Structure 1
Amino acid sequence: MPKKKHPHGHYCKICGEYKANEKFSGKGHAAHICKVCSRLSAAEKAAAMDMNRLMSFPMRRLSDSEKKWLQAKMHDKSPEVADTAREIYNVCFPYAERNAMKKQLIINTLSFELHTEVYDGYGDTEMADRRFTIDRKSRVLTMTDFQTESGEQSVTLEGWQMAKLLRYIVHTLEIFMWEQDYCLNPDEDDFFTDIPPEEDIYVDNLEEKEKALPRELEGRPFWQVRVEYSNHTT
Structure 2
Amino acid sequence: MSKKKKKRYRGHYCKICGEIKSNEKFNGKGHKNHICKSCAKLSQLDKNELVHLRKIENIELSGFVLSKANIEKLKSYSKNSKYPKVQKYAKQVLNYYNERIEEHKE
Q: TM (normalized to structure 1)?
A: 0.38
Q: Which has the higher helix share?
A: 2
| Aligned mates of 1:95, 1:37 — CA distance in 2 | 35
Q: What is the aligned counterpart of 1:83 among 67, 88, 95?
A: 88
Percent identity over the alignment? 39
* Root-mean-square deviation (Å): 1.9
| Structure 1 unmatched ranges of 5 or more | 97-234
Q: In structure 2, the residue corresponding to 1:13 is in which secondary structure?
A: coil
Contact 1:24 1:33 in 2 (8 A): yes
Q: Which residue of 2 aligns with 1:62?
A: 66
How far off is 1:6 after superposition?
3.4
Q: In structure 2, the residue corresponding to 1:16 is in which secondary structure?
A: coil
Q: Which residue of 2 aligns with 1:17?
A: 19
| Aligned mates of 2:72, 2:57 — CA distance in 1 | 17
What pairs with 1:21-100 in structure 2 (closer than 5 Å)? Answer: 21-57=23-59, 58-76=62-80, 77-94=82-99
> Across the two proteins, how many residue pairs are aligned to each other?
96
| Aligned mates of 1:8, 1:34 — CA distance in 2 | 14
| Aligned mates of 1:7, 1:83 — CA distance in 2 | 33
Which structure would you say has the larger Rg? 1
| Aligned mates of 1:40, 1:34 — CA distance in 2 | 10
Tell me: CA distance 1:86–1:6, structure 2 relative to 1, closer, same or farther (3 Å). Answer: farther
Q: Which has the higher strand share?
A: 1
How far off is 1:95 after superposition?
7.7
Contact 1:12 1:33 in 2 (8 A): yes
Contact 1:10 1:32 in 2 (8 A): yes
How far off is 1:55 after superposition?
2.2
How far off is 1:26 after superposition?
0.5
| Amino acid corresponding to residue 82 of structure 1 in structure 2 | Q
Q: TM (normalized to structure 2)?
A: 0.79
